[in-house]
Amino acid sequence: MGKVYLMGAGPGDPELLTVKAVRILKSADVVLHDALVDNSVLAMVRPHALLIDVGKRVGDRRIAQEGINQMLVSFAASAATVVRLKGGDPLIFGRAAEEMAAMRRAGIDFEIVPGITAAVAASAQAQVPLTDRDGPSSVVFLTAQHAIGRGPKEIARFTAAESTLAIYMPNGRYGEIAKQVMAAGLLPQTPCLIVSNATRPNQKLYWTDVAGLQFMSQPATPAVLIIGTVARRRDEMISAASAFFAANKTEVETAHREL
């Protein structure tokens, strides 16, 4: 029997792959990859490996999840080293639970190789934290489908705790998301950040607030939407930090002398 690796390809930049991921890609026999995996990452696969695009696209259901599960089992049963390569991290919105269940039923050995998820990459590129000791102490990962489909009452559970909302795949739904989060109690001036193609050469950052989100034109995909006080513009954050330092200057200088 072979082995399957459920592997995270990260947000796009090949330098953000783990050392372990690179080593396994260079020895894999078969790689089943998503559409969002960057070509520079696929270039790391050894030349004679079988590359299969199993990415799901909006409106295109030619490859069902059950078919992907069966391919993983069949290739591994022929003693192949199989990589299921997913954008970001395989355990966040990657349908890994279904694939793991299929392999457990078939008695196939598998291992999970984590990757950097899109929300973490997006916040790093924008130089904003997802949590803050003086602000949100938690992060909620949602897909746009969940953010809209679950309704204001469900979203209210997260906004009540002043969590940072990291919403995946928001494109085409910004207006609906804005209405939902305002109905759930978020103020219209709550900062928002959209990062399109995080870590890639064509990356773009868009700053707005919940009120302006309703009128946002659609940035290129893939994109991540971050909502919360941490999503302020960098100049606003610098001003806030300067004000904090000025207000606490005596205390800071005293602590420095003691050190």
CATH of the domain at 159: 3.30.950.10
Clarify whether residues 132 and 231 are in a common domain.
yes
Distance between CA 18 and CA 7 in Å, rounded? 10
Is residue 224 in a domain? yes
7 Cβ partners below 8 Å, 6+ apart?
Answer: 21, 24, 25, 83, 84, 85, 86, 90, 112, 113, 115
Tokens of 40: 């520079």
Candidate list 13, 34, 38, 89, residue with the active-site label: 34
Q: What is the pLDDT of residue 153?
A: 61
Q: What is the pLDDT of residue 217?
A: 81
Residue 56 bears catalytic tag: yes
pLDDT in tens, 197-250: 999 999 999 999 999 998 888 888 899 999 999 999 765 655 554 544 455 555
SS3 243: helix
CB-based contact 192:213 (threshold 8 Å):
yes
Clarify whether residues 8 and 104 are in a common domain.
yes
Clarify whether residues 197 and 170 are in a common domain.
yes
Q: What sign does the CA torsion over 187, 190, 194, 199 have?
A: negative
Residue at which a domain ends, from 116, 134, 167: 116
Q: Which domain holds residue 130?
A: 119-237
Clarify whether residues 90 and 132 are in a common domain.
no
Number of domains observed in the structure of the chain: 2
Instruction: State the pTM of this model.
Output: 0.84
Residue 86 bears catalytic tag: no
Clarify whether residues 69 and 163 are in a common domain.
no
Candidate list 56, 132, 179, 209, residue with the active-site label: 56
Clarify whether residues 36 and 103 are in a common domain.
yes
CB-based contact 100:108 (threshold 8 Å):
no
Clarify whether residues 61 and 95 are in a common domain.
yes
Is residue 229 in a domain? yes
